[in-house]
Structure 1
Amino acid sequence: MESIKEAILLLPGSEIHAVSPAGKIVVTLEANLSAEIIKQMDAIHALAGVYSAALVYQHHEDIEALDQEIHDVADTSKLY
């Protein structure tokens, strides 16, 4: 497990958030292009000891979106 975690952390833009005793690892991958994320996923699949890797969520924003102001208005009807 340690060698798998070390290999994942060598991928640019990778971050490990959680590891379970059963051997599951929660990873965030960041890249400029979706194709780079696919290459990172392929690299994880190819690691010895990795049986499966699944992309659970993908988000993309244009760089210009970082300059936009976000107005945060709480909608109390959606608070739990």
Structure 2
Amino acid sequence: MVDELHITSLIVHALPDRCPDFDQVIKQLPGAQIHGTDANGKFVITLEASTAGAILDGVSQLQQTPGVIGVAMVYQHVEPLESLNTEIAHVDHTA
């Protein structure tokens, strides 16, 4: 098994009057970060985990949270952990 980092971005829509509660739920979810919110109850969130199953568990937990209207996965990326510490050479693309 290869050690990997799974990164998923999500848009979560919650009832606006439940947003303060939902904000705390996200902060308690392992690997979750809030990147943006609006007054209508929309959240931009990323989840990071070592397996796709752990990502799906996090999505399921969000879907089952009282006040959540919907959870939409926007993007998923998987990266081998060993590549995260590899320096990337800069390439000048100006011509």
The normalised TM-score by structure 1 is 0.88
- Following superposition, the deviation at residue 74 of structure 1 comes to 3.2
Corresponding residue for residue 10 of structure 1: 28
Gaps of 5+ in 2: 1-18
- Following superposition, the deviation at residue 62 of structure 1 comes to 0.8
Corresponding residue for residue 44 of structure 2: 26
Runs of 4 or more consecutive aligned structure 1 residues displaced over 4 Å after TM superposition: none
- Following superposition, the deviation at residue 56 of structure 1 comes to 0.3
SS of 1:57 mapped into structure 2? strand
SS of 2:68 mapped into structure 1? coil
Work out the CA distance in 2 between the residues paired with 1:73 and 1:41: 37
- Following superposition, the deviation at residue 73 of structure 1 comes to 1.0
Corresponding residue for residue 37 of structure 1: 55
- Following superposition, the deviation at residue 65 of structure 1 comes to 0.8
Structure with greater proportional helix content: 1
Higher relative contact order (CA 8 A, sep 6+): 2
What one-letter code is carried by the residue in structure 1 that aligns with 2:38? S
Corresponding residue for residue 68 of structure 2: 50
- Following superposition, the deviation at residue 76 of structure 1 comes to 3.0
Structure with greater proportional strand content: 2
Work out the CA distance in 2 between the residues paired with 1:74 and 1:52: 42
SS of 2:83 mapped into structure 1? helix
SS of 2:78 mapped into structure 1? coil
What one-letter code is carried by the residue in structure 2 that aligns with 1:39? D
Q: CA RMSD in A?
A: 1.2
The normalised TM-score by structure 2 is 0.75
